[in-house]
């Protein structure tokens, strides 16, 4: 199964409100009339009640960190002065397509989420932040169809790995470059124009809208995830791009990765890269991992943005880690010296390992850096690079050692720094 599909179980209330609905023409965008007919833009609730419901069902942010949505909403609500709500649709992770898909095909559910988040926080301004041209056209059409009682601006940025980081979002909306800034303050304290600002992923806002529209299904809505699945794949009808077989699926929390791998043509996979480039590599035992923030964290990984890249027997995890490090080094904002030097050192040393040129201490240096570098940059890019390296050494020590004594065909060419292995098209 490839393309776009839902795995929400039969008979569950969550089927009342799937985000990956097929209720509009193939390739098209859900219009205002269809969204209204499905119960969208329901009258504004008592803000505290909706916030309590979001808290009760445990909705977490879908941008990568999995932070409780209610906590962020309350922090902005309780800050002094008028606030701002930002729908963050800039997908920095090259292996994720869910946010662009939502903005292209379901802009109204996102805008409804902005409206509701503004009501809960007392915001007087909204903003949709993105880099995708088709998504921008769809959002502007939706705003023309239903002029908002809230001022909603659309801000376009250039695509980059760090451009979706929350302080980079604020900086770009305020007219600066889309580059992270030092924290504190965080946006909920001082964000767009100095106002308390909620920077929320577009899927998070869409699930807030569905929670309001379908309160009877709130728990199922909060527990479902949009997941981008990619990898080499062998299915003849795959949505194939540089990232191979691609699918966007809506699945319930707790779904095992093996289920997704089998459905999406990756049943032969021997490993998986979790959470885009942030969750690390997992080898033996990956089939038992569930889509669950806490359980993946306990296993040393992270769900992140829900991007899963499967490695098949012919794929070399050393080559993948080297390409990931090279891409992250190239995407560095170059504002933090430790990030520039750290990602560069990781990439150079991994490249030497991959090409069979590493000295005897290379593995020790990689292990030491992967432990020392996390948390030292202004954003999560350096952490992602360190996690990829640490997970490679943890899950594939034998494969790393094998590169000392034999030439690896998969590592023969220099690692590209453009992220082509991980980049996938929007289904």
**CATH code for the domain in which residue 375 is found:** 1.20.1440.230
406: containing domain? 317-411
Q: Which residues contact 99 (CB under 8 A, 6 or more apart)?
A: 88, 89, 90, 91, 201, 202, 203
**Residue pLDDT, tens place only, 38-94:** 899 999 988 899 999 999 999 999 988 889 999 999 999 999 999 999 999 999 899
Task: Note the pLDDT of residue 26.
Answer: 58
The reply to whether 114 falls in a domain is yes
On whether both 297 and 324 belong to a single domain, the answer is no
The reply to whether 12 falls in a domain is no
On whether both 269 and 185 belong to a single domain, the answer is no
Task: Note the pLDDT of residue 13.
Answer: 44
- Treating both helix axes as pointing N-terminal to C-terminal, what angle do 107-121 and 47-57 enclose, rounded to 10 degrees? 110
Buried b (16+ CB within 10 A) or exposed e, 127-140: bbbbbbeebbebbe
Alpha-carbon distances of 18 from 105, 106, 256, rounded to whole Å = 13, 11, 19
Q: Quick check: 310 pLDDT over 90?
A: yes
CATH of residue 259's domain is 3.10.20.600
Structure tokens that stand for 146 in this block: 């239903």
Q: If phi over 0 gives left and psi between -120 and 50 gives alpha, with beta otherwise, what is residue 73?
A: alpha
| Domain C-terminal end among 311, 341, 358 | 311
**Residue pLDDT, tens place only, 94-132:** 999 999 999 999 999 999 999 999 999 999 999 999 999
On whether both 142 and 157 belong to a single domain, the answer is yes
| Domain C-terminal end among 282, 311, 340 | 311
The reply to whether 113 falls in a domain is yes
Task: Note the pLDDT of residue 415.
Answer: 86
Report which DSSP code applies to 231: E
Task: Note the pLDDT of residue 28.
Answer: 74
| Domain C-terminal end among 163, 192, 213 | 213
Name the CA radius of gyration of the chain, rounded: 21
Task: Note the pLDDT of residue 130.
Answer: 98
On whether both 62 and 192 belong to a single domain, the answer is yes
Q: Quick check: 136 pLDDT over 90?
A: yes
Task: Note the pLDDT of residue 331.
Answer: 96
On whether both 93 and 191 belong to a single domain, the answer is yes
Distance (Å, whole) CA 385 – CA 154: 31
Q: Quick check: 143 pLDDT over 90?
A: yes
Q: Does residue 321 contact residue 392 with C-beta atoms inside 8 Å?
A: yes
On whether both 128 and 203 belong to a single domain, the answer is yes
On whether both 139 and 64 belong to a single domain, the answer is yes
Most confident of 7-21, 153-167, 397-411: 153-167
Percent of the chain clearing pLDDT 70 (strictly above): 93
The confidence band for 162, taking pLDDT boundaries of 50, 70 and 90, is: very high
Q: If phi over 0 gives left and psi between -120 and 50 gives alpha, with beta otherwise, what is residue 41?
A: left
Number of domains in the chain: 3
Task: Note the pLDDT of residue 233.
Answer: 46
Percent of the chain clearing pLDDT 90 (strictly above): 69
pTM summary value: 0.93
DSSP per residue over 269-325, as a string?
Answer: --EEEETTTTSEEE-TTGGG-BS-HHHHHHTT---TTSEEEEE-TT--HHHHHHHHH
The confidence band for 174, taking pLDDT boundaries of 50, 70 and 90, is: very high
On whether both 129 and 153 belong to a single domain, the answer is yes
The reply to whether 2 falls in a domain is no
CATH of residue 112's domain is 3.40.50.11540
Q: Does residue 216 contact residue 13 with C-beta atoms inside 8 Å?
A: yes
Q: Which residues contact 307 (CB under 8 A, 6 or more apart)?
A: 93, 95, 96, 227, 228, 230, 275, 276
Q: Quick check: 235 pLDDT over 60?
A: no
Q: Quick check: 321 pLDDT over 60?
A: yes
Task: Note the pLDDT of residue 25.
Answer: 57
The confidence band for 15, taking pLDDT boundaries of 50, 70 and 90, is: very low
**Residue pLDDT, tens place only, 356-402:** 989 889 999 999 999 999 989 889 999 999 999 999 999 999 999 99
């Amino acid at each position: 199964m490839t393309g776009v599909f839902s795995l929400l179980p039969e008979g569950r209330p969550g089927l009342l409100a799937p985000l990956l609905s097929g209720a509009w023409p193939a390739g098209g965008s859900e219009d205002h009339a269809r969204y209204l007919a499905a119960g969208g833009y329901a009258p504004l609730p008592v803000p505290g009640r909706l916030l309590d419901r979001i808290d009760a069902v445990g909705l977490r942010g879908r941008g990568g960190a999995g932070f409780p949505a209610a906590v962020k909403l309350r922090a902005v609500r309780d800050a002094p002065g008028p606030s701002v709500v930002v729908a963050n649709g800039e997908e920095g992770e090259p292996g994720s397509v869910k946010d662009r898909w939502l903005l292209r095909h379901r802009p109204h559910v996102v805008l409804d989420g902005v409206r509701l988040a503004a009501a809960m926080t007392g915001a007087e301004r909204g903003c949709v932040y993105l880099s995708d041209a088709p998504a921008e056209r769809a959002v502007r059409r939706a705003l023309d169809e239903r002029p908002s009682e809230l001022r909603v601006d659309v801000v376009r940025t250039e695509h980059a790995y760090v451009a979706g980081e929350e302080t980079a979002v604020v900086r770009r909306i305020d007219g600066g470059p889309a580059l992270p800034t030092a924290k504190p303050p965080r946006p909920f304290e001082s964000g767009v124009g100095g106002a308390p600002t909620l920077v929320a992923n577009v899927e998070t806002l869409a699930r807030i809208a569905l929670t309001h529209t379908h309160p009877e299904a709130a728990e199922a809505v909060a527990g479902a995830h949009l997941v981008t699945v990619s990898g080499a794949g062998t299915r003849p009808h795959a949505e194939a791009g540089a990232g191979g077989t691609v699918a966007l699926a809506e699945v319930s929390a707790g779904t095992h990765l093996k289920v997704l791998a089998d459905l999406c043509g990756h049943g032969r996979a021997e490993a998986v890269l979790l959470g885009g480039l942030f969750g690390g590599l997992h080898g033996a035992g990956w089939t038992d991992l569930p889509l669950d923030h806490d359980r993946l964290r306990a296993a040393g990984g992270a769900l992140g943005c829900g991007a899963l890249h499967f490695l098949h027997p012919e794929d070399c995890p050393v080559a993948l880690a080297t390409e990931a490090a090279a891409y992250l080094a190239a995407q560095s904002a170059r504002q933090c010296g430790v990030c520039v030097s750290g990602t560069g050192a990781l990439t150079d040393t991994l490249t030497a390992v991959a090409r069979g040129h590493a000295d005897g201490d290379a593995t020790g240096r990689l292990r030491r850096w992967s432990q020392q570098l996390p948390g030292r940059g202004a954003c999560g890019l350096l952490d992602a690079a360190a996690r990829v390296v640490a997970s490679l050494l943890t899950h594939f020590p034998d494969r790393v050692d094998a590169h000392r004594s034999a030439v690896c065909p998969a590592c023969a060419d220099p690692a590209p720094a453009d992220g082509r292995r991980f980049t996938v098209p929007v289904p």
